[in-house]
Amino acid sequence: MKLILSRRNLIKSVSAAALAAPMGYVKNGWAQGKQIQVGIWGGNQGEFIRKNVLPAFEKELDCKVLAQQGSTLGQISLLRASKEAPKFTVMFVDDLGVEIAKREGLIDPLLKAFTDKTGIKANVVYAAAGLNERLAAEGQNSPADLLFTVDAGMNLVWQTNATTGRNKVLVQFPNVPNVGAVGPPTKEAVPTSLQACGDGLLVTLLSGGPFAAFNSSVMWVDPTTGAAHIFISNLNMAIDVACPSQGPLFLVLEFMDLTATPPLGRVLTYHGPTPTVLLRNITTPTSLALDESTGTAYIVSRSDGKILTIKYL
């Protein structure tokens, strides 16, 4: 079966597969003697899949699994490149990746290729079909009734109940490694902005001093559980992020040169894992907003006392 898995459903999916495979597949089934290509995450989660899940799958179904590790944006790029001739049987992406894949029509070719090869019709159900049931189950903890704010001083995201006004910590970010040539081995995360994107939150981490290139990131945060992981890495000093419904996948506002007086920033656009510079040499940028009806980005330049505009579509 062709699947696009999100991290939220990983444990459930892996457990279900481990239980269902012995009953639902036989060694002379569709996978026997074949080579299957999958895309999995990098890091500890990817290594867990590689070492614990894939060997058992290969043994049970008598097949060979070729696993390619990467980030969500990298996996989306692989799906784009193979859209006309899908080669992946399973692709692990985050919740945002599922939305991107749906928007770009990357899922249907996988399902068609699976049906053409096996004769089995694949049906897809997305979470949006059960939103009313989800809201009822979540009750007072529903994200629909919650306000989320970043606290740079405390390195956390606050969750505020819009009805009761009560606050609680959704997630507190640990120190990040210091990749610079000077300073301590780690430094504070310093969250600077938060944007809703799909069913998750994107949080920019400036990272504290001493500042260094490629020491900043955008985190993906689950608004229900607070689970967080790096979504966009190798930034300089991220200030803000946007997630438009069309055009680039993401826009990031960051400082590019703190040695200048006043400091200079730039806007990056992401159509894949490698960014493109949309606008550079912005004087002391502070925030980014989009008008999706016109495809216009608005950037505040504090030192100049101006709001700059540029088309991103």
Asked if 241 contacts 269 with a C-beta cutoff of 8 angstroms, the reply is no
CA 86 centroid distance within chain:
22
Which three-class secondary structure state does DSSP give residue 36? Answer: strand
Give 3's Cβ-side CA count (13 Å radius): 15
pTM of this structure? 0.61
User: pLDDT tens digits, residue range 271-312?
Assistant: 888 999 999 999 999 999 999 989 999 999 988 889 999 999
6-20, 226-240, 277-291: the lowest-pLDDT one: 6-20
- pLDDT for 181 equals 86
Range 48-76 average pLDDT: 84
* Nearest residue to 168 via CA among 241, 230, 225: 225
- Average pLDDT score over residue span 66-87: 86
Which tops the pLDDT comparison, 15 or 40?
40
pLDDT in tens, 176-207: 999 888 889 999 999 999 999 988 999 999 99
Using pLDDT thresholds of 50, 70 and 90, give the confidence band for residue 209: confident
- Tell me what the pLDDT averaged over the chain comes to: 80
Of the pLDDT bands very low, low, confident and very high (cuts 50, 70, 90), residue 140 is: low
Structural domains of the chain ordered from first start: 3-124 (3.40.190), 138-311 (2.120.10.30)
- If one compares 34 and 33, the residue with the highest pLDDT of the two is 34
Instruction: Say if residue 208's pLDDT is above 60.
Output: yes
pLDDT at 20: 31
Say if strands 275-283 and 167-172 run parallel, antiparallel, or are unpaired.
Answer: unpaired
Phi/psi at 254 (5° precision): -145, 155
At 9 the pLDDT is 38
Question: Higher-confidence residue: 247 or 297?
Answer: 297
Name residues whose C-beta falls within 8 Å of residue 7's C-beta, 6 or more positions apart in sequence: 41, 45, 92, 94, 95, 227, 229
In the prediction, which pLDDT does 177 show? 92
What percentage of the chain has pLDDT greater than the value 90? Answer: 36
Q: Bigger pLDDT: 50 or 189?
A: 189
Note the pLDDT of residue 130: 52
Q: Is the predicted pLDDT of residue 13 greater than 60, yes or no? A: no
- pLDDT band per the 50, 70, 90 thresholds, residue 268: very high
Query: What would the mean pLDDT of 109-116 be, rounded to a whole number?
Result: 80
- pLDDT band with cut points at 50, 70 and 90 for residue 88: confident
